[in-house]
Amino acid sequence: MKEGPDIARLGTLIGDPARANMLTALMGGQALTASELAQAAGVSLPTASSHLSKLEDGGLLSQRKQGRHRYFALADTATGAMLESLMGFAASRGHLRHKPGPKDPALRKARVCYDHLAGDFGVRMFDNLICEGTIIAEGENLVLSEAGEARVSALGINIEKLHSPRRPLCKSCLDWSERRSHLAGSLGRALLAHFIDQGWARRMADSRVITFTPEGERRFMAVFPVD
């Protein structure tokens, strides 16, 4: 047996169409029941339970019980980043499961990627943060500059509460629709939460789409201008 990470097992887990649909449904960052995931995958509940057990054993899902229900979510942010990267790679190679439909423009414009902003707006925000020196690249790492801390704090975000040994403050994530990077990490999560809390945007029900109000879009563009 060859030594090293077993990417074959991981590929098998993700490669099944039903399991891929379940993982994609969980990319919205919400915990879903087995019944909801069975519907997303287009399979029966017993079949879905078997798939979920395999995904959990493989370290891709976590579950918690609440009353009679069991809720499933992606295991962690690394799982979400890995799936988003695979989506970007698949799209760049033309591996699309359906032709673009009426909902696709909204999904490409702004959507949630696990817990942070993705799509055109997410990439725009990341470009601005880099160009303005709010975020600085140090090798493969992204660092919030001193001026960046002041800028983010001015938005009403408490930087101190974002530091965690388990998650980077700033991290780039490959955007599957734009084929460029958007901002992940605890700062990316905090910024999306800020937009929603301030009423600039809201999340559409049963969808990954983030919809900005006209006033929210105006403010977003003013805060993150890009030539």
Domains along the sequence of the chain with CATH? 7-75 (1.10.10.10), 99-223 (no CATH)
Residue 103: the pLDDT is: 54
Alpha carbon of 5 to those of 2, 17, 88, 148: distances in Å? Answer: 9, 23, 22, 38
Helix boundaries (H) for the chain: 7-15, 17-25, 34-41, 45-57, 77-92, 104-109, 119-131, 146-154, 185-197, 214-223
CA distance 43 to 49: 10
Quick one: pLDDT at residue 102?
42
User: Measured between alpha carbons, how far is 125 from 223 in angstroms, rounded to an integer?
Assistant: 9
Residue 180 pLDDT: 85
- pTM, full prediction: 0.72
Per-residue pLDDT of the chain (227 residues; tens, 9 = 90+): 567 788 899 999 999 999 999 998 898 778 899 999 999 899 999 999 999 999 999 999 999 888 777 899 999 888 988 888 888 788 777 777 654 444 578 888 999 988 999 999 999 999 999 999 999 988 778 999 999 999 999 999 999 999 888 889 999 888 878 878 899 999 999 999 999 999 999 998 878 899 999 999 999 999 999 87
Amino acid at 14: I
How far is it, in rounded angstroms, from Cα 19 to Cα 54? 9
The identity of residue 137, as a single letter, is: A
Structure tokens at 46: 């017993």
DSSP string across 180-196: SEEEEHHHHHHHHHHHH
Q: Which residues of 106-117 are buried (b: 16+ CB within 10 A; e: fewer)?
A: bbbbbbbbbbbb
